[in-house]
């Protein structure tokens, strides 16, 4: 169940150093007349971890959906490697707080993860090892626990070779052990070069990598000092 | 053809058998895609389409499929503004369903058409002709072709429609193909089980097959086998009891629901 298997030892990386992999400029969005996000600028580099904090309803999930291209902004743009998202959305993977995936679908875990890579056995095995679920490859997805489901969705994203992982409240509703495992997994993914953007409120597990902490408040994104619970 | 004419029971048996194959195969896809209610709507909306086709002298298949597709489009339009998960979309679907049935019955009376309403609603295998057999063969071939060419995409559609959209899969085309195929299967199955009973053959074997299945392929195979068995059982009981086979096939579906799903093993 080691979260780092197949990746190598986790290490802390400096943030951000390269040209941004994902760029958002003047991103604005509102539901009807009410603005939710106003002129958001965000750069996400390869192998970086960005934590977005904010109260309930601050627009954290909306921001992730905009970054993924699922929702279109009323103004501004998002680019991946300098190009518009259209046609390359597979390079981004959003793991939502309430996934739309139907967990009673007749498929086992290896089958689910394999769907991300055209059933390539090697990539499926690698992704399952990365998230520490190789032992459950043949289990039906309906039998997975909450924490295992989170990691299964991340494995699906890894099998799809997503370069940017957008995790919406990944630690919500997880017990301490599952939080720790997921924190270690995120640390390992960042160390292997995956860019991770996650939203959270409340305390975070200690295993998370060094990260940039942004606070979403009144539609604006502000860089803040890490809170005590955010420190690696 | 000579054999079909001489052995009177062979054609009905073939029609029933094909129905028992094609309905559960399609039903398994519809259950996992959560499209059963709209399929029920299509089944009832076939009636006004068939009546209009008969009145205008058009092919019954065209009228039936047109009615089913028109009803689904109407329901989608009316449901668009209703919040999902509120129960309102289902209420809209059921209202459109009842209205379609009512329109069909009213049209038969108003136009004074010689339509066998009992036969349409509950099936009549004894009057099934070679054209019914051909329709079912075409429906089965098209379904198998869709499964062969688009199996992965159909899996995504059932497993995670949002994820499928994220992967920029051609969902609209896939949904349209599924709707067209559903309409074709429902119209084709009318001869065997009728519009009112076709849902039993679409749902029950699929539900039993999905119980404990570890893959969609496995569920499809099981559903087809169960459906075939049900058809032959219904036909055999019909001969033994001298009762209509359609309702007997639908009755045989009920015990299958006692097979409970077992997600953990």
Gap from A115 CA to chain B (nearest CA, Å): 8
- Which chain B residue lies closest to A71 (C-alpha atoms)? B166
Q: Cβ A143–B263 below 8 Å, yes or no?
A: yes
CA torsion angle B133 B134 B136 B139 (round to 10): 180
- Which residues, in sequence order, are bridge partners of residue A78? A24
pLDDT at B262: 55
- Which residues are registered as beta bridge partners of A217? A220
Average pLDDT of the residues of chain A: 82
pLDDT confidence of residue A13: 38
**CA gap B179, B224 in Å, rounded:** 20
Residues in B closer than 8 angstroms to A93, CB to CB, are 166
Q: Is the pLDDT of residue A78 over 60?
A: yes
User: What one-character-per-residue DSSP string does B154-170 give?
Assistant: HHHHHH-HHHHHHTT--
* Residue given tokens 């580099």 in the structure block: A45
Residues 6+ positions from A206 with CB-CB distance below 8 Å? A180, A183, A232
N-term to C-term CA, chain B: 50
Q: Do B159 and A94 touch (CB under 8 A)?
A: no
Cβ–Cβ gap A100/B160 under 8 Å: yes
* Complex ipTM value: 0.82
Sign of CA dihedral B210, B211, B213, B219: negative
Nearest CA in chain A to B261: A104
In order of A178, B174, B226, the CA distances from B138 in angstroms are 51, 19, 21
In tens, the pLDDT along A162-217 reads 899 999 988 887 778 878 888 888 888 899 899 999 998 777 766 677 778 888 88
List phi, psi (to 5°) of A133: -120, 20
Residue A11, pLDDT > 50, answer no
All residues of chain B having their beta carbon less than 8 Å from the beta carbon of residue A160 are 167
CB pairs under 8 A between A and B: 66
| The pair of three-digit structure tokens given for residue B202, joined into one six-digit string | 């679409």
pLDDT over 60 at A101, yes or no: yes
User: pLDDT at position A221, please?
Assistant: 85
Q: Check residue B149 and give its pLDDT.
A: 95
What does the pLDDT read at residue A178? Answer: 79
Q: How far B200 CA lies from chain A's nearest CA (Å)?
A: 21
| pTM (two decimals) | 0.82
Which residues from A are below 8 Å from B152, CB to CB? 115, 118
Q: With an 8 Å Cβ cutoff, are A89 and B156 in contact?
A: no
Contact criterion met (CB < 8 Å) for B215 and A107 = yes
- Whole-angstrom distance, CA of residue A215 vs CA of residue A18: 23
* Residue A3 confidence (pLDDT) above 50: no
Q: Does A231 have pLDDT greater than 90?
A: no
DSSP summary character for residue A170: T
Asked whether residue A146 carries a pLDDT value surpassing 70, the answer given is: yes
Polymer length of chain A? 232
Phi, psi (deg, nearest 5) at residue A131: -95, 0
Give yes or no for residue A9 having a pLDDT over 60.
Answer: no
Per-residue pLDDT of chain B (265 residues; tens, 9 = 90+): 555 556 777 888 999 999 999 999 999 999 999 999 999 999 999 999 999 999 999 998 899 999 999 999 999 999 988 888 888 999 999 999 999 999 999 999 998 888 888 888 888 888 888 889 999 999 999 999 999 999 999 999 999 988 888 777 888 899 999 999 999 999 998 877 888 889 999 999 999 999 889 899 999 999 999 999 999 999 999 989 999 888 899 899 999 888 765 544 3
Out of A87, A101, A160, the one facing B159 most closely (by C-beta) is A101
For residues A93-116, average pLDDT: 90
Contact B166 A100 (CB under 8 A): no
More confident residue, B90 or A6: B90
Tokens of B97: 């369903």
Q: Which of B239, B154, B246, B237 is nearest to B200 (CA)?
A: B246
User: How buried is B109 (Cβ within 10 angstroms: 0-12 exposed, 13-18 middle, 19+ buried)?
Assistant: exposed
Min distance A107 CA to chain B CA atoms (Å)? 5
Greater confidence (A70 vs B62) lies with: B62
Contact B264 A143 (CB under 8 A): yes
The beta strand positions in chain A, using DSSP E, are 22-31, 34-44, 49-53, 75-80, 83-84, 92-95, 164-168, 195-200, 212-217, 220-223
Residue A87 has pLDDT above 50, yes or no: yes
Confidence of residue A14 (pLDDT cuts 50, 70, 90): very low
Tokens 């193909």 found at? B177
Question: Other C-beta atoms within 10 Å of B106: how many?
Answer: 12
Say what percent of chain A tops pLDDT 90. Answer: 34
Q: pLDDT band at residue A5, thresholds of 50, 70 and 90?
A: very low
* Composition of chain B by helix, strand, coil, percent to 5: 80, 0, 20
Residue in chain A lying closest to B34 (CA):
A102
Give the best residue of A106, A107, A145, A152 to mutate against chain B (max B CB count within 10 A).
A106
Contacts of A108 in chain B (CB under 8 A): 214-215
Q: How many CB atoms lie within 10 A of CB A224?
A: 13
Does the CB of A94 have a partner CB in chain B at under 8 Å? Answer: yes
Mean pLDDT of the A118-130 span: 87
Residue A140: predicted pLDDT? 92
A4: pLDDT confidence band, cut at 50, 70 and 90?
Answer: very low
């Amino acid at each position: 169940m080691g979260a780092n298997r197949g990746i190598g030892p986790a290490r802390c990386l400096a943030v951000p150093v390269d040209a941004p992999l994902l760029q958002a400029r003047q991103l604005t969005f509102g539901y009807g007349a009410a603005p939710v996000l106003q002129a958001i600028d965000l750069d996400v580099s390869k192998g970086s971890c960005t934590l977005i904090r904010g109260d309930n309803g601050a627009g954290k999930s909306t921001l992730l959906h905009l970054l993924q291209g699922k929702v279109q902004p009323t103004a501004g743009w998002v680019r991946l490697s300098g190009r518009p998202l259209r046609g390359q959305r597979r390079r981004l993977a959003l793991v939502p707080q309430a996934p739309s995936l139907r967990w009673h679908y007749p498929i086992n875990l290896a089958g689910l993860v394999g769907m991300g890579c055209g059933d390539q056995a090697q990539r499926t095995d690698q992704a399952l090892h990365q998230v520490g679920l190789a032992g459950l490859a043949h289990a039906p997805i309906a039998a997975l626990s909450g924490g295992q489901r989170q990691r299964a969705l991340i494995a699906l994203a890894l099998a799809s070779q997503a370069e940017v992982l957008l995790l919406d409240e990944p630690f919500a509703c997880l017990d301490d052990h599952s939080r720790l495992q997921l924190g270690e997994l995120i640390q390992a993914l960042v160390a292997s070069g995956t860019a991770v953007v996650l939203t959270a409120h409340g305390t975070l597990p200690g295993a998370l990598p060094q990260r940039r902490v942004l606070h979403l408040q009144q539609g604006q994104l502000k860089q803040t000092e890490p809170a005590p619970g955010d420190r690696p | 053809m000579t054999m079909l004419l001489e052995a009177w029971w062979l054609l009905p048996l073939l029609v029933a058998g094909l129905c028992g194959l094609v309905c559960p195969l399609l039903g398994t896809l519809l259950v996992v895609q959560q499209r059963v209610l709209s399929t029920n709507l299509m089944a009832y909306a076939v009636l006004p389409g068939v009546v209009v086709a008969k009145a205008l002298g058009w092919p019954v298949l065209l009228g039936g499929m047109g009615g089913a597709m028109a009803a689904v489009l109407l329901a989608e339009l009316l449901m668009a503004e209703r919040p999902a998960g509120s129960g309102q979309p289902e209420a809209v679907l059921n209202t459109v369903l009842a209205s379609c049935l009512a329109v069909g019955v009213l049209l038969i009376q108003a136009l004074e058409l010689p339509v066998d309403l009992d036969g349409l609603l509950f099936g009549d295998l004894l009057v099934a002709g070679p054209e019914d057999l051909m329709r079912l063969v075409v429906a089965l071939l098209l379904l198998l072709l869709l499964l062969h060419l688009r199996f992965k995409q159909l899996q995504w559609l059932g497993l995670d429609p949002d994820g499928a959209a994220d992967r920029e899969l051609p969902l609209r085309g896939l949904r349209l193909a599924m709707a067209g195929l559903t309409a074709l299967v429902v119209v084709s199955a009318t001869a065997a089980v009728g519009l009112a009973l076709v849902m039993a053959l679409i749902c029950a074997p699929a539900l039993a097959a999905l119980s404990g299945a570890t893959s969609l392929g496995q569920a499809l195979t099981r559903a087809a086998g169960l459906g075939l068995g049900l058809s032959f059982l219904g036909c055999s009981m019909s001969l033994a009891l001298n009762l209509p086979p359609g309702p007997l096939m639908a009755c045989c579906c009920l015990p299958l629901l006692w097979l409970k799903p077992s997600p953990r093993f």
